[in-house]
A and B are shown apart, each in its own frame.
Chain A
Amino acid sequence: MKLLIKICLIVFLSSFFKINVSAGEKSELIKQNWPFDGFFGRFDQSSIQRGFQVYREVCAGCHGIKYIAYRDLANVGFTPDEIKSIASEYEIMDGPNDEGEMFDRLAKPSDKFVGPYLNDKEARVANNGAYPPDLSLITKARAGGADYLYNLLNGYKDPPENLEISDGMYFNTIYPGNQIAMPMPIVDEIVEYEDETPATQDQIIRDVTSFLVWTAEPELEERKVLGIRVLIFLIIITLMLLAVKRKVWKDVE
């Protein structure tokens, strides 16, 4: 009886988790192998750097990454001088000055990335009422994370004949409701990589996804490195405590 209950429980619990995880997804996401997955996951810096290039040349027209500061780029291999020159390509509103006026100045490494729009309303107006979300947290803010983004960017297909697509909308197999306001952003050769990586659509999407995973979880690598150490420590000390416990309890029936 007890065994039966236990088996039931295990089956039930495992199905619970499976159902729960898949509940939020619209269409089956094709799982990808990411270098940052798993216990020993690490970022691929060159991929993130390329992804940053893709972000700047393709995404930044509509999407901001407002939680990232220019100085943060140091963590993916940019030098202080490179960061300074990247920052100085942006203008930021500062002030008020001594005359009480706001003024524009060049961005500094300590500033956050300047977005394409002043505010949400301007963003909506510029995009036919659709709001291009800030991308800093996008892989954490969508069920499926990196895989969702990868599949979404790869999910632009010809619509089935019986489906009517509204004006200014595009068919996407992954997007909830299948109609997305963002036109297909990434095609072959839309950027030209300096490191001579072939700029295939798949490669570009991988790179920009890696970059956005980094913007969402810049602590990921540090977290996993520390996590392994902490777990090893905890397992050792727990085994030692088990030995101590056994010794202490040896004489107790």
Chain B
Amino acid sequence: MSTEKNELKGVTGWIDKRLPVFTFINHNLRDYPTPKNLSYFWNFGSLAGVTLVIMIVTGILLAMQYTANADLAFDSVERIMRDVNNGWLLRYIHMNGASMFFIVVYIHIFRGLYYGSFKAPREILWILGVLILLLMMATAFMGYVLPWGQMSFWGATVITNLFSAFPVIGDYIVTFLWGGFSVDNPTLTRFFVLHYLMPFLIVGVVALHIVALHQFGSNNPLGIDVKSEGDTIPFHPYYTVKDYFGLGVFLIIFFGLVFFAPNFLGHPDNYIPADPLVTPAHIVPEWYFLPFYAILRAVPDKLMGVILMFAAVMVLFVLPWLDTHKTRSAQFRPYYKQFFWLFFIDCLILGWVGSMPAEGIYVLISRIATGYYFLFFLVILPILSRYENTRTIPTSIAASVLSDKFVNEKTSTENI
């Protein structure tokens, strides 16, 4: 066993030396006891960490070639694509990496939701996670502006204009954000600076996220606390090798996109240089913002739409106090489970209507879906917390995984 440990350490050691952030994220994840029944859904935390590192490394290299100037930005991106050695690879990794990051993080969040990972004593862990999501959204939004294509420009215009919804101070805020009277060079320059800065804030919050995680350890599919050493295995080599395997699968999908459909998740209009005089027929944000965009458009009132959209994220912060049911895992909560899956589908529907024009039947669909989104958090969860009866919960992780005979032994000893 010890030799294996050293060899795997070699791999991490090699990477560690070159990627200090990776060290930071993974440093504590070795001897630390981890529930032995984690499913592959628990891979997504480390995948998000790896993606963050990939984004930072490619981002720094891109910043060495990119020019944050409204007249030069688009051309400098084309220069990266055409003249810089492997520049196209660099940019396509960064571009698709953003999408992959959101896919991974969304799955990570839904996993937490399903298995009750946000519940006591992990509330702060969850809140830090939501904070990471918020920072990611801001970073991704500003990053999308940098190529200075049509979608960049008009996306920036539309989203910054959201702030004009606030009464009295709205217009001042927007002018302040732009550094001018429209989205222009000052806007681009500050977005670039912030886009470069914020990932490092994310790294900071991720560190706190991990500190908070290690306080009580990972939740698990059963949602019950670790009771004895029999419930856990050391993180290394068990979960390191599982994470590496998961990373392999992830990279196959990721690089499948990068090499064979690099623009699948993008929008063709962003290959047209920004033109302040021509608005594209159909402005859509990147796919990962579509559910929130749908909520924004579902409301006929501008201010309310903006408030609801922000509320859709903010409500996640108070989730631990909305769902106060003692049982964590949805496996043992028959009603919560169904409402959860309905919520999941609801989010997909929101994403889908977000990509459709805001007219006809789509408006109705988006309103119903928005309604359920908030109903789920604000009404269904508190009610279920009070009245839902749970199925029989296993006494311990070991008991649930092992044979009946073994369980009986185990429980009898525990009874003593």
Contact = CB atoms under 8 A, between A and B. Distances in A.
A and B, direct touch (CB closer than 8 Å): yes
B111 interface: no
B271 A241 contact: no
Interface string A135-148: 01100111101000
Interface in A1-40: 1, 5, 8-9, 12-13, 16, 19-20, 23-24, 39
A23 B282 CA distance: 10
A227 B401 contact: no
Contact of A248 (B75, B238, B259): B238
Pick the 3 closest A-B CB pairs, nearest first. A227-B259, A238-B248, A141-B271
Contacts, number: 103
A4 to B, nearest CB: 10
B106 interface: no
B333 interface: no
A118 interface: no
Interface stretch (A55-63, A159-167, A217-225): A217-225
B245 A245 contact: yes
18 contacts: A8-B345, A9-B345, A9-B348, A13-B348, A19-B352, A23-B356, A67-B82, A137-B78, A140-B263, A141-B271, A141-B272, A176-B281, A219-B82, A228-B259, A244-B244, A245-B242, A248-B241, A253-B401
Interface string A169-180: 000000010000
B39 to A, nearest CB: 13
Nearest to B290: A20
A39 B36 CA distance: 40
Interface stretch (A79-87, A200-208, A229-237): A229-237
Contacts of B81: 219
B387 interface: no
Interface residues of A, number: 45
Interface residues of B, number: 43
Contact of A241 (B82, B241, B341, B355): B241
Interface stretch (B130-138, B200-208, B215-223, B250-258): B250-258
A106 interface: no
Nearest to A176: B281
Interface string B228-261: 0000010001100110110011011001101110
Given A8-B345, A219-B81, A227 B356 contact: no
B352 A16 contact: yes
B257 to A, nearest CB: 10
A16 B348 contact: yes
B268 A219 contact: no
Nearest to A148: B268
B198 to A, nearest CB: 28
A235 B252 contact: yes
